[in-house]
């Protein structure tokens, strides 16, 4: 009887993780964005932002979920790194108040062979938006 209760408890405790875990809340597709909506996003969220043109849609979509970062200076750069993405404040930014800090998000374009499948350029569009959103969560 005790074994049955343990199995029942484990089933009730673990099953929500399988039912609700790892489901995307929203699926982004690049084809669904018109040039007008990209311009609107850029006008609203693109101030004080520098990013590679090829990732414009992903960056602007991710920024739209962080309205508190509208006036924060953020630069996106592409470099060879061991980690796929990295977010840091600039060295001089460490001496400034939080509201005036400048941030750099580094996107790795090449890395160790083991990490090649998870490089930013190899991810689907929706995952790229999510990864940038994750990195923006490290700002401020």
Residue 31 lies in a domain: no
Residue 48 lies in a domain: yes
Average pLDDT, stretch 69-86?
Answer: 88
* Whole-prediction pTM: 0.76
List C-alpha distances in Å: 76 to 54, 58, 85. Answer: 11, 12, 10
Residue 14 lies in a domain: no
Residue 59: phi and psi, rounded to 5, are: -65, -45
Residue 75 lies in a domain: yes
Rounded CA-CA distance 102/81 in Å is: 20
Residue 57 lies in a domain: yes
Residue 76 lies in a domain: yes
- What is the domain extent for residue 53? 43-140
- Write out pLDDT tens, residues 101-126: 899 999 988 877 888 888 888 999 99
Tally of domains within the chain: 1
- Write out pLDDT tens, residues 83-101: 778 888 888 877 888 778 8
């Amino acid at each position: 009887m005790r074994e049955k209760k343990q199995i029942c408890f484990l089933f009730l405790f673990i099953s929500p993780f399988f039912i609700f875990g790892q489901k995307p809340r929203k699926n982004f597709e690049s084809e669904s964005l018109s040039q007008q909506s990209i311009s609107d996003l850029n006008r609203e969220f693109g101030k004080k932002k520098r990013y590679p043109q090829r990732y414009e849609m992903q960056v602007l979509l991710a920024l739209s979920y962080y309205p508190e970062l509208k006036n924060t200076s953020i630069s996106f750069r592409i470099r060879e790194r061991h980690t796929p993405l990295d977010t840091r404040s600039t060295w001089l930014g460490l001496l400034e108040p939080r509201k005036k800090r400048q941030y750099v998000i580094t996107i790795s374009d090449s890395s160790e062979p083991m990490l090649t499948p998870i490089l930013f350029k190899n991810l689907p569009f929706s995952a790229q938006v999510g990864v940038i959103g994750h990195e923006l969560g490290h700002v401020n």
